[in-house]
A and B are shown apart, each in its own frame.
Chain A
Amino acid sequence: MVNMFSIKKEIGCYITCITGSSLLPLIGIHIFLALLLFTLYLKARRPVIRISSLIAAQLFMLFAIGTVVSAMQCSQMLTIEIYTVYVILSTVLIMLLPKIYYRILIKRYRAQPVTDIMDWPQTFVNTLTEKAKVYYYDSAVPRAFASGKSIFLSMGMLELMDDLELKAILAHEVWHLRHNNKTPVLRQLSLMTFTKNRSENELELLADTFAEEMVSETAVESARAKLN
């Protein structure tokens, strides 16, 4: 190899190119805004503000990375090449996964359409969203989850909850389905900016809020109480 990779050389490259670049103030502003938004994310209480500030912070991080890359004058930067491959691979994987994963879940849990045993859950879900299918599977452990265009309920969940509570749970899962096309983006942003995706709790809270609006606050609360 003629150009042996040297991390020292590459770091030197970054320093020379960035400090000599007219883009330096822009990079600074991006990083400053990203840090500001991360602080807002850490301080904020409301789930919507937390999630949006996290996304905005990650976007500014991404802009900063992009500006740094465009400021580079050196050729054959191995770190940039690795990062590009990493971004492309992870994007493809994360965007494809939800389209395949629910099929794996159906097989793994030997899930059956809920309409085989009762009609109303599917009818109720149809009023909230299009093309979502409700499945049930054989397990006494009360669980509900959503993936792809499917909602899964365990028999234990169907046994445990009364109709209103089940509606609340279904609405909660429908919220996840409706936003499923966005949650991979959250994960992708975290991967690209090397920040941890900590939005799970916020997403659950937002899903609960939706369920409260669609069904009732008491139904969500009693369902939650039964599960704890």
Chain B
Amino acid sequence: MVKLDRINISNEGLTKFFSPIEAQIMEILWANKESTTPEITEKTGIPLSSVAGTLDRLVKAGYAKREMDKKGQRVRYLYSATESMNNTANTITKKVLDSLVDTFGKVAIENFHTYNNKK
């Protein structure tokens, strides 16, 4: 689990759920079918030393996946997002809702209803 266990409501955008570097990398993975490590470092402008560890973590947490690409005597990783951005949003939303219901029970559910009516 990357950061979902430590949601930060006051942060902007995806950094509520991911660290800034994780968010930047996930955006690139969602926008592209396949990305190589140099592409990711170039597009984010973040040094490899930070990107590499973050990629390992994202893969371990299941948000990103990588395949080894062999080209003659060279090897490289090809990264892609495990799920589309929408599906990931779905997973995150469910987890947050679950934890709200788990803590506040009925009150949380009543709020979901009124939230829906307001719309």
Contact = CB atoms under 8 A, between A and B. Distances in A.
Q: Do A and B actually bind?
A: yes
Interface of A: 117-120, 139-142, 155-156, 158-160, 163
A158 B75 contact: yes
B53 interface: yes
Contacts of A119: 73
A158 B69 CA distance: 12
B53 A159 contact: no
B73 A163 contact: yes
B76 interface: yes
A156 B37 contact: yes
Contacts, number: 39
A117 B70 contact: yes
Nearest to A162: B74
Nearest to B47: A228
Interface residues of B, number: 17
Nearest to A114: B75
A158 B75 CA distance: 7
Nearest to B40: A140
Nearest to A142: B52
Given A117-B68, A140-B56, A155 B75 contact: yes
Nearest to B79: A140
A155 B77 contact: yes
A140 B75 CA distance: 12
B48 interface: yes
Contact of B73 (A118, A140, A160): A118
Interface string B47-64: 011011101100100000
Interface string B93-105: 0000000000000
Residue among A119, A141, A159, A160 having the largest count of chain B Cβ atoms under 10 Å:
A159
A140 B52 contact: yes
A121 to B, nearest CB: 9
Nearest to A226: B48
A141 B70 CA distance: 18
Given A117-B68, A140-B37, A156 B52 contact: yes
B75 A141 contact: no
Contacts of B53: 140-141
A141 B76 CA distance: 13
B77 A159 contact: yes
Given A155-B68, A159-B37, A120 B73 contact: yes
